[in-house]
Amino acid sequence: MSAARREARAFAPGSVGNVGVGFDVLGHSIAGIGDIATVRRIDEPTVRINAIRGTVTDLPLEAERNTAGGALIALREALALSFGFELELDKGIPLGSGLGGSAASCVAALVAANALLDAPLSPHALYPHALAGEAVASGGRHGDNVGPMLLGGLVLATADRLTKIDVPAGWHAAVVHPHAVLETRRAREALAGAYALKEFVAQSANLAQVLLGCERGDASLVRAGLSDVLVEPRRAPLIAGFAEVKQAALDSGAMGASISGAGPSVFAWCEDEATARRAGASMAAAFANAGFASDLHLTPINGTAAEVLA
């Protein structure tokens, strides 16, 4: 039995949660941005956070109040580990952006810690611990951000299972992040109240068409379905310029566009990278018209998963 590694670093990408039609259950990873966690195995039976650097520095260092710490606590308890972890986070994703920032720290920490186990787990087996970590930030167990980070690409994340959805390799997303913060709590409050059954009928038809369109590589099904009639109407008023940004994406040939996660970032799905680049530029211009600078991220929808760094 070889001695386990004492330290590992891992990267977890950003993600587009909800993907418009799959509130709390559907998401895809965003290549090129993400958080890095450095985890060390320690003899004390505890989890501690030594440092948080990067785009966010005012997060709690108490492990149980941090998504990364919460996930490692859950992992330790589930596996009854005799040892503990200390970790440092290098955050690349701004919080309150709708790009999966809290989930990325959680998944990066889990994937790094997993590399230090005597018998590492599969990404699927890490999922419940990622849910436990994500719940520290959101108060609820939803896997639409951590799921895609663990498996890569587009993922259906149900209560106890992750299912990767096939997506044509050429399909790309433009994800535009305006320099404005929308607190997840406020975005959640916009969803309070009652819903009508007919809203759900329309949304479920849309979700079904998007899933079938992805699996079959049929863009016409995605175009028919990629429209959020349930959540977007309630959250759009919180995002300055949203209607114009969405229209800019559609005018550029996108298959559909909606809010990424809880916002304010907006994503557009396109059939190729050139269209995504064009749509992204138009969306950024629309945000500029509304008074906001923004960052553009281009990613294959079938994007990368979290990984241990050499």
Flag whether 126 is marked binding.
no
- Spatial separation of the C-alpha atoms in residues 236 and 24, rounded to whole Å: 17
Quick check: 215 binds a copy of itself (CB under 8 A)? Answer: yes
Residue 23 structure tokens:
């509130």
Residue 185 structure tokens:
């709590």
Stretch that binds a copy of itself, among 91-99, 126-134, 189-197, 272-280 (CB under 8 A): 189-197
Instruction: Give the residue with the Cβ less far from a copy of itself, 86 or 144.
Output: 144
Interface with a copy of itself (CB under 8 A), residue total: 35
End-to-end Cα spacing for the chain: 22
Give the DSSP H/E element, type plus range, for residue 101.
Answer: helix 101-114
- Spatial separation of the C-alpha atoms in residues 34 and 56, rounded to whole Å: 12
Quick check: 169 binds a copy of itself (CB under 8 A)? Answer: no
Quick check: 23 binds a copy of itself (CB under 8 A)? Answer: yes
Flag whether 293 is marked binding.
no
- Spatial separation of the C-alpha atoms in residues 29 and 304, rounded to whole Å: 6
Whether the CB-CB separation of 286 and 248 falls below 8 Å is answered with yes
Quick check: 1 binds a copy of itself (CB under 8 A)? Answer: no
Q: In this chain, which of 42, 205, 250, 290 binds a copy of itself, going by CB under 8 A?
A: 205
CA nearest neighbour of 130 among 152, 145, 115? 145
List of residues 6+ apart from 63 with CB closer than 8 A: 46, 47, 48, 49, 69, 70, 72, 73
The CB-side HSE value for 36 (13 A sphere, CA atoms) comes to 12
Instruction: Give the residue with the Cβ less far from a copy of itself, 66 or 209.
Output: 209
Flag whether 96 is marked binding.
yes
Instruction: Give the residue with the Cβ less far from a copy of itself, 116 or 156.
Output: 156
Distances 157 to 20, 108, 148, 237 between C-alpha atoms, Å: 14, 18, 8, 27
Instruction: Give the residue with the Cβ less far from a copy of itself, 72 or 230.
Output: 230
Instruction: Give the residue with the Cβ less far from a copy of itself, 24 or 244.
Output: 24
- Spatial separation of the C-alpha atoms in residues 97 and 75, rounded to whole Å: 27
What is the distance, to the nearest Å, from the Cα of residue 195 to the centroid of all Cα atoms in its chain? 25
Please report how close the Cβ of residue 184 comes to a copy of itself at its closest, in angstroms. 15
Quick check: 165 binds a copy of itself (CB under 8 A)? Answer: yes
Q: In this chain, which of 104, 108, 167, 207 binds a copy of itself, going by CB under 8 A?
A: 207
Quick check: 233 binds a copy of itself (CB under 8 A)? Answer: no
Please report how close the Cβ of residue 17 comes to a copy of itself at its closest, in angstroms. 12
Instruction: Give the residue with the Cβ less far from a copy of itself, 201 or 243.
Output: 201
Show binding-site residues for ATP. 94-104
Residues forming contacts to a copy of itself in the complex (CB under 8 A) are 22-26, 142, 156, 158-159, 161, 163, 165, 191, 194-197, 200-209, 211-212, 215-216, 221, 224-225, 230
